[in-house]
Amino acid sequence: MSEGPETVFKFTAEGVDLEFAGSEAFVERQVQRFRHFLEGAVGLESPPEATGSSEPAETPTFAEFSGARPPREGRGQIQDRILLAIYYMNVIRKQREVSGDDILQCFRAATWDKPKNLHNALGILKRKIGHLQEGSRRGLYQLSPSGLQYLDGRYANP
C-alpha cells in the first residue's frame, strides 16, 4: 500500500529558503511550527480577532515590554537582553531586520548599560548559539527559528 503523493512547501524570502517535503500531515506540522516566523517574514500581522479584541492592541514601548519580561542576571545577561530587544523589534514592532543602533535604542529605553562589545555578542548569538541569522545586508539581524523558539518558551506571555 503506497502513501499519498508527496506534499512540498517552498518558501523563499530575503536570505531565507525553507522547503518541507513529505506527507501532507508532516508538511502541515512544519508550516504550523514555523508559522510565526513565516508570517513575520512576509509582514503579516495577526488579525484583531486572533487576540480576542475587535480593536488593534496598542504596541507597548520597549521599557513596558521588557519590564514584564526581565532577562536573567549574571552569566548570559547581555545575550538575553540583546535577544529580547531583537524579539521586540521583530515580533512586536514587525520590523523584519534589526541593526546594532536599534538594539542600543532598546537598551537606552530600558535604562540598561550598553554592551561593551555589541558586535562580538551578536556574532556569538549568530555563529555559536544559532539564535540569530543575517539580514539582507551586513550589520542587519533577525531571529532564527531556534532563537524565536527559545524566546517564545522563555518569555511566553507573562
What pLDDT does residue 21 have?
Answer: 86
- Ranges of each domain in the chain: 7-51, 62-154
Tell me the average pLDDT of the chain.
Answer: 81
Which one is the CATH code of 62-154: 1.10.3470, 3.40.50, 1.10.10, 1.10.490? Answer: 1.10.10
What pLDDT does residue 85 have?
Answer: 95
Rounded to an integer, the average pLDDT of 149-158 is 76
- For the segment 105-131, what is each residue's pLDDT rounded down to a tens digit? 999 999 999 999 999 999 999 999 999
Q: Does residue 53 surpass a pLDDT of 50?
A: no
Residue 52 — pLDDT band, cuts 50, 70, 90?
Answer: very low
Rounded to an integer, the average pLDDT of 83-93 is 93
Is residue 66 within 8 Å of residue 88, measured between CB atoms? yes
* Alpha-carbon distances of 128 from 5, 91, 106, rounded to whole Å: 38, 23, 23
Using alpha carbons, select from 117, 154, 158, 125 the residue that is nearest to residue 141. Answer: 125
What pLDDT does residue 44 have?
Answer: 57
The predicted model scores a pTM of 0.62
